[in-house]
Structure 1
């Protein structure tokens, strides 16, 4: 009798654990189109600035995400790095435009 009760209890426990399903608390939200997603779309001019940024700056140090600093914080960094990377004003303007477009 004891074994029948234990067997039935085990079967009931197994059935209950297999039958319950947790429902998500909230349905997953559809990804919203934000300004950051729009900022990822690069024009050919911005793509050239990104390429210059990646190729010129990564020679000496790791690349920072453009959003790591504000526009005001980027300005002296870019001026200082222009001299070190030996970039002309046209290339620097392209890099600056790319950085500002990502902010």
Structure 2
């Protein structure tokens, strides 16, 4: 009986560690120049470097509070509402402006770009 309870407790700890809210899991899709080219009319002058910066900011900051959503999980209109609210929350949580207006725009453009990947 004690061994069973210990085994169950150990498994529960492993599961809890694997599902922590501040998971540092990475988003699957790696941005490429073809992604930048696909949204060139929407974001003139947009570069692969900016797209990758947005991905890094998204992964580093959004995972502080919750699991990362896939960019395809929300339509563009929702990301435009979600991202500004979340930037306020992360800056408040960290006690400073970690994500400024430029960073917010990079995150938003990253999500919109990668969320528009053809299926």
Q: Shorter-chain TM-score: what band?
A: 0.5 to 0.7
Question: Aligned equivalents of 2:89 and 2:113: distance in 1?
Answer: 23
Equivalent-residue separation in structure 1 for 2:109 and 2:50 (angstroms): 9
Higher normalized contact order (CA 8 Å, seq sep 6+, divided by chain length): 1
Q: 2: CA distance between counterparts of 1:79 and 1:50?
A: 16
How many angstroms does 1:40 deviate by? 3.6
The two structures have a TM-score, normalised by structure 2, of 0.51
Return 5+ residue gaps in structure 2 as ranges: 1-28, 34-47, 92-98
Cα separation, 1, equivalents of 2:76 and 2:70: 12
TM-score by length of 1: 0.59
Q: How does 1:5-44 map to 2 (within 5 A)?
A: 40-41=31-32, 43-44=48-49
Distance 1:76 1:45 in 2: 21
Does 2:106 match 1:94?
yes
1:77 & 1:64 partners in 2: Cα distance?
11
- After superposing on structure 2, the runs of 4+ consecutive aligned residues of structure 1 that deviate more than 6 Å are none
CA distance in 2, matches of 1:40, 1:47: 7
Shift of 1:59: 0.8
Query: Pairwise CA RMSD of aligned residues?
Result: 1.8
Greater Rg by CA = 1
Aligned residue in 2 for 1:25: none
